[in-house]
Amino acid sequence: MPTNEFQTFIKRYPAYAETESIDALRANEYARLDRAKHIYLDYTGGGVYAESQIQKHHQLLSANVYGNPHSSNPTSLAATRLVESARAYILKFFNADPNEYLAVFTANASGALKLIGESYPFSNGRYLLTFDNHNSVNGIREFAHARGAEVTYIPIMLPDMRVDVSQLDLELARLSERGHNLFAYPAQSNFSSVKHPLEWIEKARARGWDVLLDAAAYAPTSKLDLSEVHPDFVPISFYKIFGYPTGLGALLARKSALAKLHRPWFAGGTITVASVQGDKYYLADGVAAFEDGTLDYLNIPAIEIGLKHIEAIGYDVIGERVKTLTGWLLENLTQMKHSNGAPLVRVFGPTVNEGRGGAVTVNFYDQNGKVFDHRFIESEANKVNISLRTGCFCNPGAGEVALGISRVELDVCFTQSGHEDRLSVDDFRLCIDGKSTGAVRISVGMVTNFNDTQAFLAFAKGLLR
C-alpha cells in the first residue's frame, strides 16, 4: 500500500509515475542496492553499474582473445576493432559529427583536462574560468601562469550561486590579441548543481574564444547534443555516467581545436618515428598523438556496453526521475525547523528545480544556529548505511563563496609561517577559525527511488531538536 507521504509526493510530482520503468530496472539490474539495504546518494561522485553491463563484458572477454592494439596480428586487430567501435559509439552517443569531432581516450575527465593544460598554446593569451570549476579545471591555470597567460575568474553570486553574467560579458569582450584565449566552465556545477547556459559556448566562440565545457557532472543525467552546441573541448568520465568501468574517460575535441595543441613530450604509441641517435621524433596524426602508451583495450569495450545501457533507458526518463526526487528533497529539507523555529538546513544553490541538476548541497545547523561539522554528518549517515559526500567536492571556488571564506582570510592562512610549501587540511581548518570548511552533498541519480529520499529525510529529521 502506498504511504501517505508517497501519495503526497505523487500529487506534487505526478511525472514520477512516468518513470516507473526505472523501478523495474532497479529490481532486475540493481537489486544489490536493496538486498544490502544501501541508500546510495552519491551519484555525482560515481554512478552505479547494472549487472548486465558486467555480464556482457565478461561474456565478450571469456569468448575471445584480444592482444595489444599496437600490432597487426589477429588478436591485435580484434582489439583494435573493439576500440574503434567504442570510439565511434562515443561520438554517436553525444551526436557529434565525426567530421568535426574526435574522441581521445584518457584515464578520466582529469586526464583529459591535463592533456589540454599541458598542450594549449597559452603564451600571451588568456585563461578565463568561472569560480565554480572543478580542481582539474582550476589546475590548468598553473600551465597558463607558467606560459605568461592572464588568468581571470568570473564570480558566482549567492544565494543561487549563479554566474555574474554582466562580468562574464565584460571579460568575453576582452580578448588577448597576441595569443590564444580559452574559456572554461562546467555545464553543471558539482557543488551547487547549477546548470550554466550552454548558449555561452557560441557566445564565446563568436568572439574568438576556444571553449572548454566540463560535462562530468552534467552527462550522467542530461543529454549533451554536440550537433546543437559546439564546444571545442569536452572532458568526460564514463564511470560517472554508468558506473563501470572506472579508469576510463575521454576528451571530445573539435578537430580544429585539437590541432592547436602542442604536446610537451612523446610516448609509446604517440609517434610515427622517434630516433635516439638523431634526437628527433614525429608525432602521429589525430587521436594517436594524445593516447600515451597502450590503451586499456580490454575495458574500453565496456564503454560501448554502458552507453547502450543508458540509451535503452533514455535521458528523458532519467532526467524526469532525477528532477522529481530532487524537487521533493529540496521542498522537505527547506521546510524542516527546530522546535524554536530555527531552520535545520541551508541550501547552497537553487532551492527550486529550474536550471539545476540532482545534487542538493547543504549544511545542517542546530537550534542555536551553530553548524554541524560536515564530518559528523557523514559519520552519522554511515551508521545507517547512507552513502553521501562531504567536503568541498574538489570545487574550492564554490566552497569559498558558499561558506563565506574571504580572500583576506585565505591570504592570511596561506602566508602564515610554515604554510609556504605545505598546508594540511587540519591546518586549513585552524586558519579559517569558526567557519565551516565543507558541506554535505546529497545527489540523486538514475536509479534513485522514493524510498531512498525518504530514508534520507528521516535521517535529517533525527537532527531536529
pLDDT per position as a tens digit, 294-314: 999 999 999 999 999 999 999
Separation of alpha carbons 198 and 211, rounded Å: 11
What is the band of 422 on the pLDDT scale with cuts at 50, 70, 90? confident
For position 49, what pLDDT does the model report? 98
Please tell me whether residue 194 adopts helix, strand or coil conformation. Answer: strand
Going by DSSP bridges, is the β-strand pair 101-106/249-254 parallel, antiparallel, or unpaired? antiparallel
Cell numbers for 179: 595569443
User: Is residue 394 annotated as a catalytic residue, yes or no?
Assistant: yes
Give the pairing type, strands 439-443 and 359-364: antiparallel
249/240 Cα distance (integer angstroms) = 10
Rg (alpha carbons) of the chain, rounded to whole number:
23
15 CB neighbour count, 10 Å cutoff: 12
- Order of all β-strands in the sheet with 389-391: 345-347, 359-364, 439-443, 389-391
Q: CB neighbours of 42 closer than 8 A, spacing ≥ 6?
A: 387, 388, 389, 441, 443
CB 91 within 8 A of CB 107: no
CA 274 to chain centre: 37
What gap in Å lies between CA 136 and CA 82, rounded to an integer? 29
Mean pLDDT of the 393-416 span: 81
Pairing of strands 210-214, 181-186: parallel
The SS3 of residue 263 is coil
Q: How many CB atoms lie within 10 A of CB 151?
A: 15
Distance, CA of 304 to CA of 293 (rounded, Å): 21
Between 418 and 221, the more confident residue is: 221
- The topology (CATH level 3) of 68-311 is Aspartate Aminotransferase; domain 2 (3.40.640)
The full DSSP string for 297-366 is TTTHHHHHHHHHHHHHH-HHHHHHHHHHHHHHHHHHHHH-B-TTS-BSEEESS-SSSTTB-SEEEEEEB-
- Measured at the CA of 251, the angle between CA 248 and CA 254, to 5 degrees, comes to 155
Average pLDDT over residues 76-94: 98
Q: What are phi and psi of 393, to 5 degrees?
A: 60, 35
Grid coordinates representing 77?
A: 586487430
Kindly indicate the confidence band of residue 104, based on its pLDDT and cuts at 50, 70 and 90.
very high
Q: How far is CA 218 from CA 7, 136, 317, 338, in A?
A: 30, 16, 15, 34
Active-site hit among 392, 394, 413, 431: 394
How open is the CA angle 389-29-32, to the nearest 5 degrees? 55
Residue 326 amino acid letter: T
Q: For position 409, what pLDDT does the model report?
A: 72
Question: For residues 219 and 105, what is the distance between their CA atoms, to the nearest angstrom?
Answer: 17
Could you give the 3-state DSSP secondary structure of residue 214?
strand
Question: Residue written as cell 556496453?
Answer: 305
Q: For residue 405, what pLDDT is reported?
A: 79
DSSP code of 392? -
pLDDT digits (tens, 9 = 90+) for 139-187: 999 999 999 999 999 999 999 999 999 999 999 999 999 999 999 999 9
Mean pLDDT of 230-257: 97
Contact of 90 with 250, CB cutoff 8 Å: yes
* Share above pLDDT 70 across residues of the chain, in percent, rounded to a whole number: 95
Q: How many residues are recorded in the chain?
A: 465
CB–CB of 66/297 below 8 Å? yes
Residue type, 306: G
In the prediction, which pLDDT does 427 show? 63
Tell me the backbone φ, ψ of residue 291, rounded to 5 degrees. Answer: -105, 95
Instruction: List CB contacts of 257: < 8 A, sequence separation 6 or more.
Output: 210, 232, 233
DSSP H stretches of helix in 215-254: 238-242
Residue range 342-397, pLDDT digits in tens:
999 999 999 999 999 999 999 999 999 999 999 999 999 999 999 999 999 999 98
Confidence at residue 415, expressed as pLDDT on a 0 to 100 scale: 74
Give the residue-averaged pLDDT of 242-268.
96
Contacts for 99 with CB less than 8 Å, ≥ 6 apart: 255
CA 29/CA 31 separation, integer angstroms? 6
CATH T-level assignment (fold) for domain 4-46+315-392+438-461: Aspartate Aminotransferase, domain 1 (3.90.1150)
Question: Where exactly are the structural domains of the chain?
Answer: 4-46+315-392+438-461, 68-311
- Distance of alpha carbon 294 from the chain centroid: 26
Q: What is the mean pLDDT of the chain?
A: 94
Nearest to 180 by CA among 286, 265, 261: 261
Cross-strand pairs, 347? 362
